[in-house]
Amino acid sequence: MSKPKFLFLCTGNSARSQMGEAFLRAFANDHFDVFSAGLEPKGEIHPVVRTVMNEIGLPMEEQHSKSVNEYLGKVTFAYTVTVCGAAEEKCPRVFLSMGKHMFWPFEDPAAVEGTPDEILAKVRAIRDQMAEKIQSWLSEQGLVPDTSGLSRQK
């Protein structure tokens, strides 16, 4: 039996959608095939995002920035979550109608400004908000989020 496919979608596929992909893959105990994509992919994962995810034991070495065009007309998603307003506005509606669509807006870690310490603190806060949202959603689905592989969050 195939697993439901789950897509995290944002504009650049360099931060929020990548974190969502890593969290759901870790928390859902292989209940879903998890993907992420962007409408205008940046081509890389933001280095601060990699840093804060590594801190909690979720390295994203297997993940890379990719376009939603890789999936349009090729993959049917049971769930699509847009994590930014720009993607929510621009995403092809036909694509979103293939399954359940949810809008979970989060601040963009790639746009955070300040000193290096301020940026790290803010991106950690966004990371933690995303983790909480995904754990909550899994609980609503009757699944117990598996956080055993996470290091203590900083």
Residues carrying an active site annotation: 10, 84, 91
Residue listed under structure tokens 């983790």: 131
Please, is 18 exposed, middle or buried when counting C-beta atoms within 10 Å of its C-beta (0-12, 13-18, 19+)?
buried
Instruction: Give the C-alpha separation, 149 to 120, whole Å.
Output: 22
Residues with Cβ within 8 Å of residue 87, at least 6 apart in sequence:
9, 10, 11, 38, 39
Instruction: Give the C-alpha separation, 51 to 147, whole Å.
Output: 19
The C-alpha angle 46, 49, 51, rounded to 5 degrees, equals 115
3-state secondary structure (DSSP) of residue 154: coil
Instruction: Give the C-alpha separation, 94 to 73, whole Å.
Output: 10
